[in-house]
Amino acid sequence: MNANRPPAPADLPPYLAYARLDPASVSLKGGRLSARYAAGGETVFRVDWKPGSCSLFEDYRGKDMTYSLNYPDLRSAFFGYLQAMKPLDNPRFRSLVDGLSGNVYFQFPGQQPEGLNAFFYPAGYIFLLRLPLTPRNLPGWLKIRPDCAGEPPGPLPIRLQQEWDGLVLKYRLGGAVEVETVGLADLAATLIDLPVAVRILREAGLILPEKEHWLAIRDAADPGNYPGNMIFNRGDPARGDVAFSITIAPPEGPDSLIPFFREGVERIFGASRFAS
């Protein structure tokens, strides 16, 4: 939009990051537009927008937490806010993540090197949810799959991005490496829909209890989504696992990954001491 024209209520998106627009709060007086975005009855953002100058304020527990002042429009002010307030420093973001119950592993945006994160308006962040599929949860996945796939997308607040042949590599006590073949469904959800998306998957019985089958959530801008890319995670010693990794299966098969997996685990966890 032309930054110098008076803003209008139609310029306000229906949501910003965590919060939805409160229609009753929208006010336009003398070319100045104000509004609030709320979640759970609590004000999250306040907008103060006049021609050529838009400011965005974030409240937390009734107090100012951060602000983004005097930007040309709301989109610019929102991006300024995202650059200033990293998710790791935001108690509201941390509270949202802590509320994701079940066997869920979350990698915070901002853990990657600078420049790899992407911001979206008005979503803030978009997340990729990687769901391992085994014979136990595959029937449930096939039941809800039509509701999150296709064009236009289905009614669920989760968008199927891609399905893969996947592998779970496990370094066992005693030094053996086991490989499990799984399916992987990559799903996308916006920040505001993330808690609902996780709840839907959990209530459908799709999030399996074993640690190596966790639902992994990461910033959709993370570039590590390619066959054979491995993140080394601590396993469940009570079940005989020192470490594990979930990855997209490479065309050449799992044998090509085992030496790199073993080397990585032993370097990071000192797992060679568990070998017999």
Name the burial class of residue 111, with classes exposed (0-12), middle (13-18) and buried (19+) by CB atoms within 10 angstroms of its CB.
middle
CB atoms within 10 A of CB 62: 7
Q: How far is CA 228 from the centre of its chain?
A: 21
Instruction: For the beta carbon of residue 5, count every other beta carbon within 10 angstroms.
Output: 12
Higher pLDDT pick, 116 / 264: 264
Q: C-alpha distances in angstroms, 184 versus 129, 130, 169?
A: 10, 6, 14
Instruction: Give CA angle at 86 (18, 125), nearest 5°.
Output: 45
Across all residues in the chain, what is the average pLDDT?
A: 90
Average pLDDT value for residue range 163-180: 95
Residue 33 and residue 226: Cα distance in Å, rounded?
45
Answer yes or no: is pLDDT of 197 > 60.
yes
pLDDT score for 226: 86
Tell me the pLDDT tens digit for each residue of 73-105: 999 999 999 988 888 888 999 999 999 888 999
Residue 117 in this model has a pLDDT that exceeds 70: no
Q: Is residue 207 classed as helix, strand or coil in its secondary structure? A: coil
Q: pLDDT-based confidence at 115, cuts 50/70/90?
A: very low
pLDDT of residue 162: 93
Q: How confident is the model at residue 212 (pLDDT cuts 50, 70, 90)?
A: very high
Task: Say if residue 37's pLDDT is above 80.
Answer: yes
| Percent of the chain topping pLDDT 90 | 74
pTM comes to 0.90
Model confidence over 221-249: pLDDT tens digits?
Answer: 776 778 999 999 999 999 999 999 999 99
pLDDT tens figures, 154-168: 788 999 999 999 999
**Predicted confidence band at 272 (pLDDT cuts at 50, 70, 90)?**
low
pLDDT number for residue 16? 97
Q: Is the pLDDT of residue 113 over 50?
A: no
Model pLDDT, residue 110: 58
